[in-house]
Structure 1
Amino acid sequence: MLLPIPLVCRKIPQLLGFRSCIQAIHTMDHSYMLKTLKGCKPPLDNSRHKGQAGRIGIVGGSLEYTGAPYFAGISALKVGADLVHIFCASPAATVIKSYSPELIVHPLLDQKNAITEIAFWFDRLHAIVIGPGLGRQPDIFQVVTDMIETIRVKKIPLVIDADGLFLITENPHILDNFSSPVILTPNKIEFERLTNKLDFKNFEQYITVLKKGANDEFLCKNPEITWTSDVGGSGRRCGGQGDLLSGSIATLLHWNLNNANDIKTELPDNRFLKSAAVSCYGASSLVRLCNKKAFALKGRSMLASDMIEHIHEAFEELFGQ
């Protein structure tokens, strides 16, 4: 259920430097957000061409971690994006390609001309996820730092997860002066690390946080555009669920931004914050429902790959065809 923030997280916004939260979103309750998401999804007809439903970029994938970018990319596709590009280190490319022929894989992160090669593709992308399987090699982090600057200039919506969050805690200035949506998706430990290292009071208004846990919590500087939810889920916390979430957010964010003018509320007009809030809620609900359905069949043996099989069913249950 969608809960008023005061019941579960009275102190979190203050820790972040956000203004005190006193209630959930005015008109953007559970039924409203699901209705909005239903209206934002692209129609399944012949009125559009390939790519309009979403061209998503995933930045991540290293020698040790190849599953995470796959999970993020395949979830973006299964939710309804048309194309997914994965930008990874060379040792990860063949492995990721072997997981799915639908993913377009670019082994560029560890190349000398990485930024030039990758920036060429950025003009084609509607949203980018940074972090799944990225690893923490200093040279890769430098490439990603330069990449985030390119994303800032090009104003591409951005989702940051996993090792991307670690990079942010070490170099918080990277997120200065953003004028397009940035969504951080930390788990409990990552959230504590962020609040210990970052001064959120200096963050731009377009940066938001989806804190993952027993309750998923959406936080931003506008106290009225916040929510917390415990819909679905289970006690099984297998690896990869956060990657499914980040890929799902990216696709829904593109759809919502395309239809942001149709998101009607009593709130001051800030289409980026409202789109981020609705997108995160939709992705949270979707992944939690997939978890619930997969757990009902597999129990303790459930894996993230089992959850993927339920994306279609869960999507239709929440948002329709």
Structure 2
Amino acid sequence: MDPTNTITLIKKCIPSLDGTHHKGQAGRIGVVGGSLEYTGAPYYAGMSALKVGADLVHIFCTTPAATVIKSYSPELIVHPLLDTINPLNEISLWVERLHVMVIGPGLGRDAKILRVISELIKLIGSKKIPLIIDADGLYLITQNPELVKDFSSPVILTPNKIEYERLINKLGETGFTALGKNITILRKGETDELISSNSELKWKYNTGGSGRRCGGQGDLLSGSIATFLHWTLASSDKLDIGETNKELLASSISCFAASALIRLCNSKAFHEKGRSMLATDMIEHIHGAFQDLYGE
């Protein structure tokens, strides 16, 4: 996975802006998260998905979080369903419309909500919808890795150093591969590392970034991956590199695309704001970083 060749593949998958696409075709992304304490995380994930180029983002959160998240941006479609009486019945009406789901940003660890999420993951698996799991979603998977076993659609886990150690303590260094062929891990850190059952798809990347570790950066990454993952899966016929599993390849490429993008946003924002840099500042650089890396 040479960076130059990978970026060439990414460019093949980016939808053109020639006016031939209808609304929703460039990505309908679902973000599951948002609780009384954590409302910023789903906002960051949703906004990064939109800023990268998705058309629509739906956020599924608890009731106390909904109005707050709505107040952040009119662009986000917010559903306060996670704590309703029959949440799966209502959420299932939306799931089939979505191209990719992100579970975890701002989710929290309320036991009742996590039971709902467990059932939702099973539903997502049955509908064969690509899934990205971050933050407290990773806590749930560490407790019950069987939830993502044998997904026929791609599953991307995005742990930081501590989350990765917890996961590996549960599964062992190669144990995640027993969960199924479509599991990919993006280990975040000073150097981002892609871990896959296919050794040809592994990579490490440490260009860009900064020493500033403000909250929200991982959420920007997960939302960005979601949009790139939809694009790469939708253009899998353009990913002509032999007999490689196209879904694993799409996962690897989309993680690289998002990693490079967010690291460059971080670098640009840090250059301007230094210690005062926030994740909000990084959002403003998504357009410029995207142009620098991938053109229009």
TM-score bucket (shorter structure): over 0.9
Aligned to 1:76: 49
**Cα distance, 1:203 vs. partner?**
1.6
Aligned to 1:290: 265
Aligned to 1:191: 164
Contiguous gaps of at least 5 residues in structure 1: 1-24
1:138 aligns with 2:111: yes
Partner SS for 1:300? helix
Distance 1:306 1:42 in 2: 26
Distance 2:146 2:14 in 1: 34
Aligned to 1:225: 201
Counterparts of residues 1-321 of structure 1 (less than 5 Å) = 25=1, 29-198=2-171, 199-266=175-242, 268-321=243-296
The letter for the 1-side match of 2:180 is: E
Partner SS for 2:215? coil
Distance 2:244 2:111 in 1: 40
Moved more, 298-307 or 197-206: 197-206
**Cα distance, 1:233 vs. partner?**
0.4
Query: What is the identity percentage for the equivalent residue pairs of Structure 1 and Structure 2?
Result: 63
User: 1:234-276: CA deviations, max 9, x gaps?
Assistant: 111111000000000000000000111211224x331001000
**Cα distance, 1:201 vs. partner?**
4.2
**Cα distance, 1:30 vs. partner?**
0.8
Count of aligned pairs between the two proteins = 293
Aligned to 1:5: none
**Stretches (4+) displaced over 6 A:** none
Partner SS for 2:120? helix
Moved more, 294-303 or 193-202: 193-202
The letter for the 2-side match of 1:274 is: L
The letter for the 2-side match of 1:174 is: L
User: TM-score by structure 1 length?
Assistant: 0.90
**Cα distance, 1:46 vs. partner?**
1.6
Is contact 2:146-2:179 (8 Å) kept? no
User: 1:34-72: CA deviations, max 9, x gaps?
Assistant: 111111111112211100000000000000000000000
**Cα distance, 1:33 vs. partner?**
1.1
